[in-house]
Amino acid sequence: MTMSDIAETPQILEPAPGLFVRQAVDNITWADMGDYILVVDALEQADLEDEVVGVIERTVGDDPVRCLINTHTHYDHVALNEAFRRRYDTEIINKATSEIPDEGRWFTGPRRRAVMTPMVGCHTDEDCVVWFPEDRVLLVGDIFGWGIIPLVGRLNRDSLRLLEDTYARLIELDARTVVPGHGPLCTTLELRRWVDYLHGLIGTIQAACRAGQSDERILAETAPPDDMHHWWRFLKWKHADTVQKVLRSVRRGVL
């Protein structure tokens, strides 16, 4: 089974005891905190309500879903917010609804703890990550996207520096399991590889522009690294999209 097959077919994974991920194109995570359930992100299909609630109850029991964290509030992370609120009176927590201190908001229970920390600007102005320190499981929302540049805004020197600084903070946690907002789970190794890939790509495209190569030639000849061919949807469109964004920024003189 390829990585694409894995991502396109929903699977229930347990990266730590009592901590589960419904891995698919859109990911949702839930954790048994000991006397309540913590959910992170809420998909984009409201019609999955019964399926998701059913699998949560089968895997972690019928403790209340007390808190639901959105890593950000794009439509594909919030569809089940109201379902959880209606069923469990769940508190919905994101940067749009709650004041999240820079040092993070902690969630604790008899079984585990987690911290929700703002890391804004890589994808949206609401970006937050969720870290389970004892489980070494890190949920990064759409900050990591299997090869794409996550920025909604333009790539330039300032946004590149923000990406670099944010990834340095994520890598420093040394997570055993990284849960992106979409697609397969990964590890800190993939975070490191993406940073190296982006830096290498910028250098390659800058050199090609200085050599007077045309945009058409650069787009055609900037090959994806062999060791990333298996990355989810990378060859299908993500590498090409990243090359285009870097080339555009280099040509504009902002990178």
Radius of gyration of the chain (CA): 19
CA 155 to chain centre: 18
Q: What percent of the chain has pLDDT over 70?
A: 98
The one-letter amino acid code at 43 reads L
Nearest to 136 by CA among 180, 172, 167, 177: 177
Distance CA 62, CA 145 (A): 33
Query: What is the total residue count of the chain?
Result: 255
* Model confidence pLDDT, tens digit, residues 220-238: 999 999 999 999 999 999 9
**pTM for this model (two decimals):** 0.96
For residues 12 and 22, is the Cβ–Cβ distance under 8 A? yes
Beta-bridge partner residues of 53: none
| Residue 3: pLDDT over 80 | no
**Which CATH fold topology does 3-251 show?**
Metallo-beta-lactamase; Chain A (3.60.15)
- Residue 221 three-state SS: helix
| Residue 1: pLDDT over 80 | no
Q: Where are the alpha helices (DSSP H) in 61-187?
A: 81-88, 157-172
| Residue 68: pLDDT over 90 | yes
pLDDT at residue 6, as a whole number: 73
Beta strand 105-108 with 91-93 is: unpaired
**pLDDT-based confidence at 5, cuts 50/70/90?**
low
Q: Where are the alpha helices (DSSP H) in the chain?
A: 3-8, 49-60, 81-88, 157-172, 188-210, 215-221, 239-251
pLDDT at residue 148, as a whole number: 97
Distance CA 65, CA 93 (A): 12
* Model confidence pLDDT, tens digit, residues 135-188: 999 999 999 999 999 998 899 999 999 999 999 999 999 999 999 999 999 999
* Model confidence pLDDT, tens digit, residues 22-41: 999 999 999 999 999 999 99
For residues 65 and 96, is the Cβ–Cβ distance under 8 A? no
Nearest to 244 by CA among 214, 218, 209: 218
| Residue 253 in tokens | 């003189």
| Residue 41 in tokens | 């992100």
| Residue 27 in tokens | 């990911």
